Amino acid sequence: MPGYSNIVILTGAGLSAESGVPTFRDKGGIWAKYDYRDVATPEGFAKNPVLVHEFYNMRRRAHEGIKPNAAHLALARLEQTYPGEVTVVTQNVDALHEQAGSHNLIHMHGEIFAALCDSCRARRPWTADLSLDLACPTCGHKGGMRPDVVWFGEMPYHMTRIAKLLATADLFISIGTSGNVYPAAGFVAEAAANGARTVELNLEPSDGVTLFDEAIHGPATQVVPAFVERLLNEN
Ligand code: APR
């Protein structure tokens, strides 16, 4: 495999599954227990903000004790040792990429450990519970503090930067994502149209598997370190 100058890696919930973070659409996943319209849309927040705060407070607390797994660590090592540019675009809201040592990292769906004011749009790191009783430290508005997580129907973050990355990527790798949710599910076609080689690393074939030049299936903690090793040895 030739050396690459710009590797773009899209990650999804499957990357964090072996760290104990439930995925969304697998059997017993989050959307099997909650209706996303109630807890992950602006309409749901307007209708029942207490339920939405409970949902994210529970997830935030569950994220406190988790640790990066071998796949996160392999991606951080790739960024640190590969001669070309390596950028991770994650759909995940956990902080496992950061804890593993990735720096070139874009959270396109926001972060569970950040809060956003629905009124002045100020955002800040946040590890405690959120509730309606809180006033925004920036504008003082009460009741509008929400998780800084992109909900269905909202525009993901950093899309201009991501488009530029996909325009110049020569290798696009998709890891642990079902290829169900746009715009992320469209990134493989965008990268391929710009001449990138495309690879899927996933537990099982995703909905977009036929769009990839290559697909390697298995648990992320096995297939990701092996693929990183292959990239480093063949460069
Ligand atoms: N290793 C690798 N892949 C795995 C593993 C594992 N151990 N476990 C599960 N997977 C794969 C599944 O096969 C599936 O294809 O991870 C994928 C998880 O898919 P989803 O649960 O749909 O998660 P994701 O693709 O990240 O969802 C995208 O949808 O709900 C919204 O905003 C939310 O960011 C999320 C977005």
The fourth-level CATH superfamily of domain 22-62+113-149 is SIR2/SIRT2 'Small Domain' (3.30.1600.10)
Mutation choice for ligand 1 from 97, 177, 221, CB with most ligand atoms inside 8 A? 177
Closest C-alpha to 59, from 89, 26, 24: 24
Does 22 sit behind a cis peptide bond, omega within 30 degrees of 0 on the bond before it? no
**CB of 175 closer than 8 Å to CB of 14:** yes
- pLDDT of 24 reads 96
Q: 2: pLDDT confidence band, cut at 50, 70 and 90?
A: low
Sign of CA dihedral 46, 48, 50, 56: negative
What is the tens place of the pLDDT at every residue in 128-142?
Answer: 999 999 999 999 999
Which amino acid is it at 113?
F
pLDDT (0 to 100) of residue 65 = 87
pLDDT recorded at residue 235: 73
The side-by-side arrangement of strands in the sheet containing 214-217 is: 105-107, 85-90, 6-11, 171-175, 197-202, 214-217
| Every domain of the chain and the residues it spans | 1-20+68-109+156-235, 22-62+113-149
Instruction: Report, as an integer, the average pLDDT of 44-50.
Output: 97
pLDDT digits 0-9 by tens, 111-133? 999 999 999 999 999 999 999 99
Strand order of the sheet with strand 110-117? 123-125, 110-117, 145-149
pLDDT tens-digit profile of 170-201? 999 999 999 999 999 999 999 999 999 999 99
Region 204-217: what's the mean pLDDT?
98
* 109 is known as an active-site residue: yes
List the CATH code of the domain at 1-20+68-109+156-235: 3.40.50.1220
Can you name the residues that pair with 197 across neighbouring β-strands?
Answer: 171
Quickly tell me which residue has 């697998």 as its tokens: 26
Residue 146 pLDDT > 70, yes or no?
A: yes
Residue 1 has pLDDT above 60, yes or no: no
Q: How far is the C-alpha of 7 from the C-alpha of 87, rounded, in Å?
A: 6
The whole-number average pLDDT for the span 38-47 is 97
- Provide, rounded to the nearest whole percent, the portion of the chain with pLDDT above 70: 99
Mean pLDDT for 36-61 is: 97
Q: How far is the CA of 57 from the centre of ligand 1 (A)?
A: 21
Q: Which atom of ligand 1 is nearest to the CA of 36?
A: 30
Using a 6 Å cutoff on CB, does residue 204 contact ligand 1?
yes
CA atoms within 13 A on the CB side of 85: 13
- The answer to whether residues 70 and 225 touch, using CB atoms and an 8 Å cutoff, is yes
Reported as type and span, the H/E element at residue 111 is strand 110-117
pTM: 0.98
Ligand 1 centroid – CA 177 distance (Å): 4
Atom of ligand 1 nearest to the CA of 31: 30
Distance of alpha carbon 115 from alpha carbon 96, whole angstroms: 18
Using a 10 angstrom Cβ sphere, with 0-12 exposed, 13-18 middle and 19 or more buried, the burial of residue 12 is: buried
Q: Hey, whose CA ends up nearest to atom 16 of ligand 1?
A: 14
Q: Which atom of ligand 1 is nearest to the CA of 91?
A: 34
